[in-house]
Each structure stands twice: as structure tokens, then as C-alpha cells.
Structure 1
Amino acid sequence: MKISIWLGGAITAVSIALSGLAAHAQKAGGTLVMLVQPEPPSLASYISTSGPIGLVAPKIYDGLLDYDKDLKGIPSLAESWEVSDDGKTVTFNLRQGVKWHDGEPFTSADVQFTVMEVLRKVHPRGPNSFKEVTSIDTPDDHTAVFNLANPAPYMMRSLGAYESPMVPKHLLDGQDVKSASLANNPVGTGPFKFVEWKKGQFIRLDKNEEYWKEGLPYLDRIVGRFIPDASTRAAAMENGEVHYGAYGAIPNVDVVRLRELDSIGVTTDGYAMINPVSLIEFNTTEPPFDKPEIRQAISMAIDRQFLIDNIWFGYGNPATSALSSSYAATGLYAPGMPNYPANADIEAAVKILDDAGIAPDADGVRAKAVLDLIPYGEDWRRAGEYMKQALGDIGIELELRYEDVPTWLKRVYADYDFRMNVNYFYQLPDPVLGVHRHYGTDQIRQGTHFVNSSRYSNPKLDQLLADGAREANAETRSAMYKEIQEILANDLPVVNLFEMKFLTVYNSKLKGHDLSGFGAYGSFDQVWFDD
């Protein structure tokens, strides 16, 4: 097999072998029971990046590329690719003989349709990931040529099954993509076929016997179980009823106990591709959070280290900017931003409010608001209780609201019916992919999940974001992102809380689940049980 890799404008052909296929230790068969917490609103990963969808959909859909644990692109539906010297043309040579689960052939027309008509239009991050793609040529069924207005090296990090699933044109063309039946009856090219969704109980996927990777997948079946109660999830993991739980499915308070068992493994691997950051989103269009001063005061009053130590049991780092410190290696992260203390500074928070004329009433209350909590488990409820107490210390009275996932998504991203929202976002390997969607005016996209629900708009910042996406000079780009972080540290439409370290808890007999850079969001085509 040949793959073309772009190295500084030069095209180098190297031969690689798909890892794991020649190994003899892997055993075929078995049913993997994994926790999917909470129950997903749909399986339309091309519309929503809701975490529970990400656990299931990449087992059904493939991307053009996959990524190893070092985040290097490896072939998937694209057998090889070439980038032109000027970076404005990317040619993907597609794998032949691939079939959709309904038996129809996968072709370049599916790639063109997926990117131009689906991901660029309705995916939360697609408009940024593919913003430079002006057209896609399909000279034959197995060649897709991406034509770019400007070089976009970050795009090559966004082509996995989780981020950019290839979808079947013949089942979506001519339909309203957001309401099409494919959302709950997915048809992909991946290692597992969708079989059944029993609401409130489980999703069942069965082995794709015609998968294009010969000999894979090893498993006969994957069952994603929905178990609302956290202690019941922990007990199910302990007694072997379930084999795998990621993204906080097992609360950290239980992980501390379970990790001592020989039958249980715990790892923080598998999250390098996503760079998760917990945060507060504000509705910046209505009082009281239309004033940056109250947002600054809230950021100063939150004890980030307390959240990490007491709710997430030490797994995390205090946020210090709009960008994760993980970007330090790229030169884009700027430390020392204002309004981001690791520990609460109540005195400074009160002074900010006083100086802004946000005075307390006779009962000491300066503002009231409902705090909407992401409905992803007990840790977030506990975080809400802490924030209610902490903000009460500066005269901000909170009421907590915890709803099911579809209701919460609709409230925040469709209806804009919220004041404060505790959430987390994936910043991904480049800020163009994961950060810009939070702040750009063009990312105020009502009805699209995990974009600019704050409706923050700053023309100067918009220009910096656009320039930063196109800038090739590393030093110049670094200066641009420092200015971006300075603006956002003062305006604070979003207050980052801490850089998350998710835990994956698994049965020690389960092997091969940690091969992809996407971890739990991987395909699981090489997962197997060692009896």
C-alpha cells in the first residue's frame, strides 16, 4: 500500500502496513458492552458533536483518514493523498471495493456531497474545518480533489470518522439533512452495522461481515448501554456487566476505588486529539451578562483548583486563557492572561462589580440567574452546587437546572433560552478547528450545537480569527493568537474553568481499545477480548 505524505511541500511516498492485522494473539468473537452516558439525542454525528453520539457513530461511519496516538494521519477511506506545493490542492485516492452497509458502493461523489453539502453547512465545526475548500472535483469514482482558496494544513487533522464522517449521498441527497431518517438509522462503511436502538436501554451494533479491512473487526457485536444512575454504572463495571466506560461515565470518586482492582484498568490515554476544556457560556445579549465586568467577576470568584481537587479528584489543570496550554508546543498559547486565577479572588471580584456599578440590594444580591448544567453526570451537578455557593459570595444568586440532553441542547443552541451554561468544548489539535467556533460572529448559527451560543460579536476579533487561520508564518501567527487571547480574557463571553483529563475505565481482558488517537471515539475495529 502506498501513502503520500506532505513534508514541507515535498511529496514523499512510503510503504506502510495496517498495524495489528498480522498479529496472532487477537481472538475473534464476543460482545463488548460499553457505557454510553447519557443516551444520545441521535446518531447523526454529521450534525452534532454531542459526546454520546461520538461514542457510537465512529463505529458505524468511516472518515477519509484515521489518526494514531501521535496524531499522525493514517489511511482509512482515503488510501493515499497528495498535497500540492502551494498547499491549495489536496488529492485523495480513495479505497476501492468499499460498500455502504446497504450494499451500495462508496465513491468520490459521497466525499464531495459529504463535505460540500453536509459538513460545510450543518456540522458544528465543519464550516471552519473546510472553510477554504471552494470545490471538490471527482474525475473518477476513486479520486476526490479538494480545491482550496488558501492553504489549510489544519484541515488534515479533521478528517477522522468522529470529526468528519463520510455519509451516503444516495440516502441524504435532496433531503433536509437535519431531519432525515438517517440520523436514527445510520448507514455507514464502518466496521459495525447499526441493528437496534431500544430507547432508554441500549444501542446494538453488529459486525460488518463485508468490512474493507480484511479480518476485521474482531468483535461480533457492540452494545452501548444507558445507565442513568452513576453508582449503578460503577457497580456494573465492577461485576463485569459492562466492559468499557469513558468520558466520565464512571465518576472519578468511584474510579479512585475501582482502579485498585486487578480486573479493572484505568487510563487517561485516548484524549490527545480533543483537548477538552470545561467552561461557562454566557448569554451576552441580555442583562445581566451583557456587561463584561460581571463575567470578569465570575471568573475571578471561581476556584478552579478546588473544582479539580474536590470534584474531579486531581484530574485537570486550571484554565489560564481562551486557549488550552496544550497549544504551548505550537507557540500559540499565551500564559499570564488577566481574570484567570487558579484560586478564587473574592476581593478582586467584588471590586470589579463595585467599580462597574453592579451594586447589591438590601439582601446583598447583585444579580440572579439560572445556571444550566450539561446533563452528562453527577460530577457536573456537584460542580453546579459549588458554583452556586461560590457566586453567592459575590452577590450572584443562582438557580440550578439539569435537564435531559435533547432539551438542554435545544434550550442552549436553538432557543437561546439561558443565561449561564456550564459545558465543555473540545479545542482539538488546532484552534481553527475547536476554538474559533466559540467566538466568531459567523459562528452564531442558531440550531447548530456547540458553536457561538453566547452570540458574542467583535469585528476586530473576527478579523484576527480569519487572519490567524490563513497565516503560514509561525511567529506572526503566534502574535495574532496572543492578541486574540488578550481580547477574550477581557471580554470573557466564555469563561474557561479547567483543562479536563478524562478517565477511561475498562475490563482488563479488553485489548486494542487504545490504538487510535481518538480513544473512545475510535472505530474499535481492532478491539478484542483476551480470555
Structure 2
Amino acid sequence: MFSVKSVVLTSALALSAVFTGWQAQAQQQGGGIVITTTPEPSLITNALSSAPTTAEIATKIFDGLLEYDMDLNPKPSLAESWEIGEDGKTVTFKLRAGVKWHDGAPFTSADVAFSLLKVVKDYHPRGKGNLGPVETIDTPDELTVVLNLAHPYVPLMKGLSSLEAPIVPRHIYENTDYRANPAVNAPIGTGPYRFVEWAKGSHIRLERNPAYWRAGLPYLDTLTFRFIADSATRAAGVESGEIDVATFGTINPVEMRRLEKTDGISIAYGGYEAIAPVMMLELNTAQAPFDKKEVRQAVAYALDRQRIIDTVWYGFGKPARGPISSFVKGAGAWTEEGVRDYTVADRLDIAKKLLDEAGYPAGADGKRFKIVHDVATFGEDWRRMGEVIRQQLGRIGIEVELRTRDYPTFVREVHNNYDFQMTSTWSIGMADPTLGVQRNTWTKTINKEVPFGNVSQYSNPEVDALWVAAQTEADPAKRNAHFHNLQRLLVEDSPIIWIMDMDLVAMQRDRVKDLITSPLGLRGGLYDVWVQP
């Protein structure tokens, strides 16, 4: 006797079998994709740098202890399982057996201890935020790692991906100058892809790791990252099929809007849920004129964020209210309650009054002073944004000179030497503000040896105390209260002008499948990406 339910179930199972068979056939190993990104990185080991293009490449070569699902829950990677002690002060990881480095050496717990304590914690710009209370690491056997913490640390389990805490080979780096080690730019990892070559000014090529511990993965034989100087040429490459994926900032947003209407090309949304990116202007608070809060606030009032988003970025984002992205609103860390609003109707009058109070009256020509804006070297759109900012600040009497440097010089002068007045950039906030946002305004991250930290050199004991309180507080409501107070204080002081919560989208050819499968998106391993013939 047949029933409707049994017929439907039988049909569903048949369709499922057909679909599964088609998918299995489609997802065969083979082929490759070309990704264009900019600027060309200065190094490609992200344990030593958080530069965006470094991260985009290195996360294919290295693994972390953990990965994360779209709800930001931890998933196994190099660690198969983990256990947090009752007092929250120990975390024990059981590592995956049989994993090999790309040079054939075995991966062990000694690599993890070395990477986290000796490299990531000291050299990664977010290392102290991710691993701050980790004091020692025990390795009772080759497949067991025990992290010993000074105090319970809620954010720890959210910052152990290959983006934040890549595991590097101890046998390659130990007893060397890490930054000068040849492996920095010819990296050896455990990840899905192996480094093949870096043709400076042209491309970096990676190939499939045949010994990857995820059986049958990656699907692709090659990943090629191409560096093309001109935005129009990159757009033409996507349109012609020469380029498969273009990262955010490589193609002019108005061109992205045009290309998304083209058959075979799409905008890839998502893949930045765990990144919570914010675009901003960093101000050097250690020198005039930005040593005065009134001047910083005047700049914050003068900027028309929505106009910048509409005319430069063509809607790929929304106005930022402060250092913490609205992407984490669901977790309760974001607020606008009690946060100074710089978008009020009389904002330009307020800005002019603040500059008068700071001792910078307008001259007969309406000008008050001149500053230099070091434009981020992430693409032509950043220069366009600089021009819009120059116009907007000109309305309150601030003359702006735009300065563009090559990427290595930009990093050295701005982020190592602190030789700048104002600079544009974007920052990864991460799923927990302690992991990403903290580094920009915590006194302990003023460090010329580690780029992309607190380059504003902003130091406020009250802010520092709140960051420390957020590190040690386990109660979610109380932690969020600390974050809310931080937003109020930081937006009031404005050592940084937060412009836009970014939609970090990419352009892709539709033949590329499963490009965004994790909250890290293009900054994940891309081991499950495949191409349709």
C-alpha cells in the first residue's frame, strides 16, 4: 500500500541521490583559479604581519588550531578536540596525528608551543590580544598541548584560526631572526596549498598539497595571486575571464556595480562575519594639531560619511558609529546609546567652533592650518576617498595635502616610524573586540617593531583599564558593558575617525564554486573551492 508520504520520501531520496552524484562528479580535483589583489605584499607569512594581502595568501599555506562555522563556533583544524579546565585557566588541545609540514617533517605539539608563545604573541599585531594571558604552554606528548593562562579569557577560543594564530614550523624558525628567515617569503606550512614561486611585480603561485590532512582536498591544483597595477585592467581581466576572483578594493566600486549585471559574473557577499572590518582615519595624537581633542573632534564632525560611502564606495558599507562594527551587534558588544553623534545637522558649525577653541582661528583666506594625509596604498579608490576628504575638511578651513607612497615605504614610515599626521586604512575588528579592536587604542600596543598596532600613539588610562577589564570578565553582560563604555570614551576622544562598517565583498566568475564557505571568506583556506568546467 502506497501513501503520499512514502511517495514523496522516495522521490526526495531519488532526487537527493541524483544531486549528490552530480555534486560528487562536479567537485573533482583539478584546474585552478586566478585571484587579483592589491597591493603586492611585503611578506607572505602572516604570523609576522596582519596586512590584508599577506593574510589572503598565507591562510592557504598555514593552518590554525581551530576554524569557525558561520555562527562563529569553533571547529577542529590542527586540533581535533579541546577541553577547558573548570577554573578556565587551562585549555588542553589534542592534535591531529599524521600531519606533515610541506617539507615532509612531522607536525608536533612543539610547533604549536613555539608558534603561539615565541612568534604570534610577540610579532603578530593582534597577538597580545589573542594570547595575552597565555603564560606558558606544556607539551606532555607530541599530540597534546596545554595552554596555561593567568586568568580565564573568553576571547581565546575565537582567535585561533590560521588568520589570527597560524602555526609555523619550529624546525625552520627556531634560533633564527624570524623576520630575516628566508621562509618568510618562501613559506612552509601544513595548509592545503604549498608555495611554489613569487615573481615580484607579477604573481605568487601556490599548488595543491597532495599530503594535506583533509582527505581529497583541496580540489584545485593551483591558486595564483596576480598583482596588476591598474584598476581598469583588473576589471577587464574579470570581464574577459582571465581573472576569476577580485578582492575588495582591486576594482573600482562603480565598475563592480556594472560587472555584477554581466552574465557569468557575480558579487560574492559574506565571508567577513568573523572579521568585522571598519574603514578609518588614524590621527597622530603625539604631535600637533591632532594632540588636541578638539581638532580630532572637528575632523570627525566635518566628514560626511554617507557621501563617502555613496560616491566612493557605491554603497558597499554603512556609516560607522565607532570602533566596534555593527556586525557584532547580535552579540551585544555594539551600541550607539550615549555615543557622540558626529552626523548632526549643524556639524560644520560645531567643527569650526571647536577649531577656534583649540587655537586655530581661520585666516583671511579661510584657512586654519595644513596637514598631510598619507593615503592607504590599497587601490585607486583610496586616493579618490582622499580627494573627497580633502574637499570636506576644506570646508572648515583645514588644507589637506595627499601623499601616496609605495606599499613598503608606507608601512615603514607610517606603521614603524610613526612619521605621519593622518592616514587612511581599514582594520579587522574580529568576532570579539578584544581580539581586533583593542590593538588600535591600547597603550601596550604602541610598538614600532610591530606594524598595524596603535599607530595613533593614543594613551588613556581609563581606556586601558576598560580593555583589561574586558579581557578578564567572564560574564557576557558585564563584558558588553565594558565595550559600550569603550565606544563612548573612544568616540569622544576620537584618536581615530571611524568612517564605514565595510561590506568586504569580492567579484567572482560564476565558474568558481563554494568561494565563501566560512566566516573568514577569502581569508580562509579555500580548500573546498572548485571550478565548473
For this structure pair, what is the TM-score category when the shorter chain's length is used for normalisation? over 0.9
8 A Cα contact 1:33 1:242, kept in partner: yes
Q: Counterparts of 1:322 and 1:225 in 2: how far apart (Å)?
A: 32
CA offsets 1:221-257 (integer angstroms, 9 cap, x no match):
1111001100000000000001011222222111111
Q: Counterparts of 1:157 and 1:97 in 2: how far apart (Å)?
A: 25
The aligned counterpart of 2:463 is 461
The aligned counterpart of 1:528 is 530
The aligned counterpart of 2:394 is 392
In the TM superposition, 1:28-67 aligns within 5 A as: 28-67=29-68
Counterpart code for 1:445: N
Matched, 1:374 2:376: yes
In the TM superposition, 1:4-153 aligns within 5 A as: 23-153=24-154
Q: Counterparts of 2:73 and 2:344 in 1: how far apart (Å)?
A: 33
The aligned counterpart of 1:230 is 231
8 A Cα contact 1:36 1:245, kept in partner: yes
Q: Return the offset for 1:479.
A: 2.5
Counterpart code for 2:474: A
Matched, 1:508 2:510: yes
CA offsets 1:277-326 (integer angstroms, 9 cap, x no match):
01111111111111010000000000000011111111211111222222
The aligned counterpart of 2:160 is 159
Q: Counterparts of 2:33 and 2:476 in 1: how far apart (Å)?
A: 44
CA offsets 1:469-505 (integer angstroms, 9 cap, x no match):
1111233223322222222122111110111112211
CA offsets 1:404-446 (integer angstroms, 9 cap, x no match):
2111111111111100011111111011001110111101011
Task: Rate the CA distance shift 1:31–1:327 in 2: closer, same or farther, 3 A.
Answer: closer
Counterpart code for 1:292: K
Q: Counterparts of 2:244 and 2:484 in 1: how far apart (Å)?
A: 43
CA offsets 1:27-71 (integer angstroms, 9 cap, x no match):
211121111211111102011111111111111111111122222
The aligned counterpart of 2:501 is 499
Q: Return the offset for 1:463.
A: 1.1
Q: Counterparts of 1:68 and 1:342 in 2: how far apart (Å)?
A: 39
8 A Cα contact 2:268 2:516, kept in partner: no
Q: Return the offset for 1:331.
A: 2.2
8 A Cα contact 2:103 2:188, kept in partner: yes
Counterpart code for 1:496: W
8 A Cα contact 2:153 2:474, kept in partner: no
| Most deviating of 351-360 and 514-523 | 351-360
| Most deviating of 228-237 and 26-35 | 26-35
Task: Rate the CA distance shift 1:342–1:184 in 2: closer, same or farther, 3 A.
Answer: farther
Q: Counterparts of 1:151 and 1:234 in 2: how far apart (Å)?
A: 48
Q: Return the offset for 1:377.
A: 0.8
SS in 1 for 2:427: strand
Counterpart code for 2:65: L
Q: Return the offset for 1:202.
A: 0.5
In the TM superposition, 1:115-514 aligns within 5 A as: 115-336=116-337, 337-341=339-343, 345-514=347-516
**What is the root-mean-square deviation in Å for CA atoms of aligned residues?**
1.6
CA offsets 1:137-187 (integer angstroms, 9 cap, x no match):
100000101111111121111111111110000111011222222211100
Q: Return the offset for 1:354.
A: 1.7
CA offsets 1:63-87 (integer angstroms, 9 cap, x no match):
1111222222211111111112222
Segments of 4+ moved more than 6 angstroms: none
Q: Return the offset for 1:344.
A: 7.9
Q: Return the offset for 1:396.
A: 0.6
Q: Counterparts of 2:320 and 2:482 in 1: how far apart (Å)?
A: 20
In the superposition, the TM-score normalised over structure 1's length comes to 0.94
Q: Counterparts of 1:471 and 1:69 in 2: how far apart (Å)?
A: 25
Larger-Rg structure = 2
SS in 2 for 1:178: helix
SS in 1 for 2:464: helix
Gaps of 5+ in 1: 1-19
8 A Cα contact 2:130 2:164, kept in partner: no
Q: Counterparts of 2:518 and 2:346 in 1: how far apart (Å)?
A: 38
Task: Rate the CA distance shift 1:526–1:344 in 2: closer, same or farther, 3 A.
Answer: farther
Gaps of 5+ in 2: 1-19
| Most deviating of 159-168 and 232-241 | 159-168
Identity of aligned residues (%): 43
| Most deviating of 447-456 and 22-31 | 22-31
8 A Cα contact 1:30 1:529, kept in partner: yes
8 A Cα contact 2:278 2:323, kept in partner: no
